Structure formats: C-alpha cells, structure tokens
Chain A
Amino acid sequence: MIKQATFYKKRIYPLLFMFLVTVICILITSGLFLSTQERATANELSFTRRAILDAGGLEYTPTTEGIEKTYKEKVQVEDGGSYYTAETAEGKRYILPMQGPGLWGTIAIMVGLEEDLTTFSGLAIVSQNETPGLGGRIEEPWFTQQFQGKKSPFTLVNEGTADAPNEVDAITGATRTSEYFRNLTNRASTDAKRIIRGE
C-alpha cells in the first residue's frame, strides 16, 4: 500500500500535473491567438498595401480605411501578384516586390517604377533586420523618399550630398547596409523589364 502511494506521488502525479499545466497554457495562448488572428492578418495586409501605395507615389489618408480605399481604387494586381500597376495623373506606375540580402538578414522592399522602368516613383521597406540606429535607418522617410524621381543604376555618395539624378545618400556608419541596399535597388530595373516585358 505504501509502495503504491509513492509510485503515484513520484511518477504519476508529476506527469499529470505537467500535462494539466501544458493543456491550460495551450488553451490560453491558442484562444488568444485565434481571437486576435483576424486583426493580425488585417494589420499585415494593410501594411503591405501601404507599402505598395508608398512605392507607387500615391496619395492616401494614413488610416486603415484610407489605405484600403485608395488601394481598391487605384491598384491592380498583375500576373498573380508578381507585380502591381497603378494609374496616376503622371502616367502608369509599376510596383515590384523585391528582396535581397542585407547585413544581418533579408531586406524586403516595394519598388515603384515609372513607365520607362528605370525612374523610381517611390520605395517602401517591407521588412528588415539591420542594426537599429545604424542600418535600421533605411526605414527613415528621408532615406526612402530620396529615391523618388531618381534614375537607376545608383551610386552612393556621403550622407547629405546626393545631387545628380543617379546619386543617393548612403547612411553614415552603415556602409555595408547602404551597399547591400544599392545592389538591391539596382536590380529593380532589370528585374522589372524581365518580369513585365519578358526581356
């Protein structure tokens, strides 16, 4: 009888206890996950659409509804999502999702091109893992907005000195990230010509 009690206490009880704790924890987390999933997916979608609008240089009200409205009115998905097009007053825009290596991980961006597929209409960062405060500054508006109206291929110049239509500011203290970013954006034009016109 005593032996049976210790067997229960030493073997069965810990197992049951752990099982119970695990079940409760999983119930809590998966319940919370499922109840917020719709919201999270909507956020994700809105984020991608906002990047497309930014890249295409389109004006929109910066709310979830505003993004949704402009996106539905102006943007067409082409070729099963490999690129997007948008009609604007200044002509047709082509928006291309791209990704490439960065210093620490993959950098994913949306590149907006004008009809010649060489001039940038805009650019937006979708995801990046560069050093916060250094390479991470590629997300700052001054950096992404400088590509607007510039012609690729680009050359990097010191921060704050870009002047010619093919020059872009590098980020001081983040030379490698800047170089990776230049390589990525310089591929945009050839990629776009291949995907859109089959050249």
Chain B
Amino acid sequence: MAKSKLRKTFLEPLGKNNPVFVQILGICSTLAVTNKLQNTMVMVLGVMFTTALSSWTISLLRNHIPSRIRMMVETMVIATFVIIVDIVLKAFYPEMWKQLGPYVGLIITNCIIMGRIEAFALQNKPFLSLVDGLASGLGYAYVLLAIAFFRELLGTGSLWGYQILGSWWTNWSIMIMPPGGFFVLAIFIWVIRETIMKEEKA
C-alpha cells in the first residue's frame, strides 16, 4: 500500500500529471531559459533542488505553520533555498554564475515550487513530499531539456555549445528568440496530447 503510493507520487509528475504539459505551470521559465542546453541544465537542477527541499521543509513544519501566514513561510523557505543555490554557484562555479546569474533568481518565481507545496507538501509526510518535489522537478526538467534540444539545434546548429550541423545549415534565428519558445512548447504539448495522452484516455 505504502509502496504503491510512493510509486504513484513519483510517476505522476513525470507523465499524466506533468507540471509543464498538463498543469501548464512554470511556463515563464520554460520560455526564457530553453534557448541553450547548458542554461537549461543549470536552471532545471536549481529547480529540482529547490522544489524537493522546500517541499520537504514545509512538510516537516506543516503541523506548526499557522494557516493564515503559511504563504509567507513558504516564500521565505523557497527564497532561502534559491539564495543558497546562488551563493554556491557564485563561489564555486563563477563562470557559470556569470552566464546564469539572472536566471537563478528567477527560480523563486517558478509556480511549480509553490504549487507543489500548497497542493501536496501541506497534506503529506516529509519523505513523500520530498519525492513529490523531486519528481515534479524531474518532470519539469525533461520537458525543458527536450525543448532546449530542438531550439539550440535548429537555432544555432549546435548542441551543448558544440557545432553539430555543418556550414550548409542556415540558423533559424527565431528559434533562440522568445517566439521560438512558444512554437516549440506548443508543438511539444500538441504532440504529447495527440499521441500518448490520447491512448491513455481510450
């Protein structure tokens, strides 16, 4: 019984309850950081770390938080974890921090984190909340990485900064600009809903 709940908690955010293509959460960062795989990777790692640990922390405190100030407490906890990510990047990976500094701060505004705390961590035990946070982060991560893969490849002809396509390739500049994010995300959601999710319904 307990095991099946754990399994469900872990698998749902990856598939039929995915934060990005089912709940349509976290779209702002999906559009902003997916034009290069490297940026996307740092962003998703930051989000996974923050969602997992803030869900866990809030779940630990859930019986003590007065419900009328719970949002303030949640924001405080999320902000603390994001600042930790920022400080660690700045001290130990200065090159990466130089490129991604502004994006890291954006993690605070990611609706998935607060969404999972409100919807899950406040009602569930710490370990289960940690798993839920981590799985939501993973569900977010693979969608973003898939989008970034196509945007970087089509937009610059390279992947992870390495040139893949030869000089015959004409870069689709629009792919790495904000509109490109809308196109790829929309196509992604459409494909998923038309194929995999349709089968599930039937």
Which residues in A have some Cβ–Cβ distance to B below 8 Å? 9, 13-14, 17-18, 21-22, 25, 28-29, 32-33, 36, 39-40, 43-44, 47, 127, 129, 131-134, 172-173
Contact = CB atoms under 8 A, between A and B. Distances in A.
B88 interface: yes
B23 interface: no
5 tightest CB-CB pairs across the interface, nearest first? A36-B91, A133-B176, A43-B94, A173-B173, A14-B66
A21 B73 contact: yes
Interface size class of B (residues with CB under 8 A): 20 to 34
Contact of A25 (B36, B79, B152, B177): B79
Given A14-B68, A29-B83, A32-B84, A40 B177 contact: no
A132 B156 CA distance: 11
A9 B67 CA distance: 11
B1 to A, nearest CB: 34
A129 B98 CA distance: 10
B127 to A, nearest CB: 22
Contact of A133 (B68, B79, B87, B156): B156
Contacts of B177: 131, 134
Interface in B156-188: 156, 171, 173, 176-177
Nearest to B158: A133
Contacts, number: 71
A113 B98 CA distance: 26
B91 A43 contact: yes
A96 to B, nearest CB: 21
Contacts of A28: 80, 84
A17 B35 contact: no
Contacts of A21: 73, 76-77
A172 B84 CA distance: 38
Contacts of A127: 98
A47 B73 contact: no
B39 interface: yes
B173 A134 contact: yes
A43 B90 contact: yes
Contact of B88 (A13, A22, A36, A47): A36
B85 to A, nearest CB: 11
A131 B88 CA distance: 25
Contacts of A132: 35-36, 39, 99, 176
Contacts of B87: 29, 32-33, 36, 40
A14 B35 contact: no
A13 B79 contact: no
A14 B70 CA distance: 9
A67 to B, nearest CB: 12
Nearest to B68: A14
A26 to B, nearest CB: 9
20 contacts: A14-B66, A14-B69, A17-B73, A21-B76, A21-B77, A25-B79, A28-B80, A29-B80, A32-B87, A36-B88, A36-B92, A39-B92, A40-B87, A43-B91, A44-B94, A131-B177, A132-B36, A132-B99, A133-B155, A134-B176
B117 to A, nearest CB: 14
Nearest to B80: A25
B64 interface: yes
B80 A17 contact: no
B72 to A, nearest CB: 6
A166 B76 CA distance: 54
B65 interface: yes
B171 A172 contact: yes
Nearest to B83: A29
Contacts of A32: 83-84, 87-88
A133 B91 contact: no
B95 to A, nearest CB: 9
